[in-house]
Amino acid sequence: MLVSARSFEEYRAMFALTDRDLAGRRVLDCPGGAASFVAEAGRRGIDAVAVDRQYAHHRGELGLLVERETAFKRELLVQETAGYPSSWYADVDDLIRQWTANARDFRADIAARPDRYVAGSLPELPFADDSFDLVLSSHLIFSYGNRLDEEFHRAALLDLARVARREVRLFPLVVYDTGVRYPGLERLREELAGLGIPSRVQRVAYEFQPGDDEMLVLSCADHRAPARPVRRAVAVDDRVRWRHREGVPSGS
């Protein structure tokens, strides 16, 4: 799994966020990775927090790791994105340039405001019910649908809805290395609707890969989370490989 470093403006585009969506709201970025969303939100006076399982392992050094890893993987990224023009990045070098700058911003902010970056893992986030007005979730759920099973998706969506008072927005809906929508999407939406969490699919003016220009919006206002279920084993493969540290060729 990759730790990426998208920007505040990229989040605005991915999640079709308006000033009104953000003003006076408490916002959670889950998973935050090395994104600079929270850093820029802070400069704009928005009350935002990021949570990610990597913050338990790497905090101060995560931004640097992501900078090194992204540059190291240039050849792999060239192969993976061949024929996949993004609406956001001119080319792979532009992606590396942007992620490097965003990871630096993240690194400065996590050092200056450590309480804004919480170590935690889906599907059991370390927050009370309804802790945030708006929860944003980019490039984990659905995106890693080839490595994270449907039980993980169900439990993760329910936990995101549990901590959200109003809405959860998720992007993308496409499994990253297949180009097709996550196969269990409609089934999960029906189950959530049955639990009082209606949802809608909304087109956005952002594509990471062609065809992945939709987000899912969960409406949580009428949902009351049941008492937390007993912890279930969830089969996940969410390991991050730092290839630049392993010394493996960047194309492998």
- CB under 8 Å, gap of 24 or more: what pairs does 81-84 form? 81/209, 84/209, 84/210
For residue 230, CA distances in Å to 124, 183, 233 come to 11, 27, 10
**Of the ranges 82-90, 107-115, 133-141, 225-233, which one interacts with ligand SAM (CB under 6 A)?**
133-141
Which segments of the chain does DSSP mark as H helices, in order? 8-14, 19-22, 37-43, 54-57, 62-72, 74-80, 92-112, 150-163, 185-194, 243-246
Nearer of residues 144 and 197 to ligand SAM, judged by Cβ: 144
Q: Quote the CA–CA distance of 14 and 214 in Å, as a whole number.
A: 8
Q: For ligand SAM, give the closer residue by CB, 33 or 42.
A: 33
Strands laid side by side in the 199-203 sheet = 117-119, 47-52, 26-29, 132-138, 164-171, 214-219, 199-203
Q: Which of 31, 42, 63, 172 binds ligand SAM (CB under 6 A)?
A: 31
- Supply angle C-alpha 229, 161, 189, rounded to 5: 95
State yes or no: residue 238 binds ligand SAM (CB under 6 A): yes
**In the bound complex, what is the minimum distance in angstroms from residue 35's beta carbon to ligand SAM?**
4
> Any contact of residue 52 with ligand SAM (CB under 6 A)?
yes
Least distance in Å: CB of 137 to ligand SAM?
7
Per CB under 6 A, does 39 bind ligand SAM? no
Q: Which of 104, 107, 139, 181 forms a contact with ligand SAM (CB under 6 A)?
A: 139
172 in contact with ligand SAM (CB under 6 A): no
- Interatomic CA distance for residues 5 and 103, integer angstroms: 6
Out of 118, 140, 155, 197, the residue judged to bind ligand SAM by CB under 6 A: 140
Least Cβ distance, residue 123 to ligand SAM (angstroms): 7
CB of 127 to ligand SAM, least distance (A): 12
Longest dimension (CA), the chain: 50
Question: Are 153 and 168 within 8 A, CB to CB?
Answer: no
Binding region for ligand SAM (CB under 6 A) out of 46-54, 77-85, 186-194, 203-211: 46-54
By CB under 6 A, tell whether 54 contacts ligand SAM.
yes
154 binds ligand SAM (CB under 6 A): no
Q: What is the 3-state secondary structure (H, E, C) of 199-212?
A: EEEEECCCCCCCCC
Number of chain positions touching ligand SAM (CB under 6 A): 19
94 three-state secondary structure: helix
Cβ of residue 180: shortest distance to ligand SAM, in angstroms? 18
Binding-site ranges for ligand SAM (CB under 6 A): 1-6, 31, 33, 35, 52-54, 121-122, 138-140, 238, 240
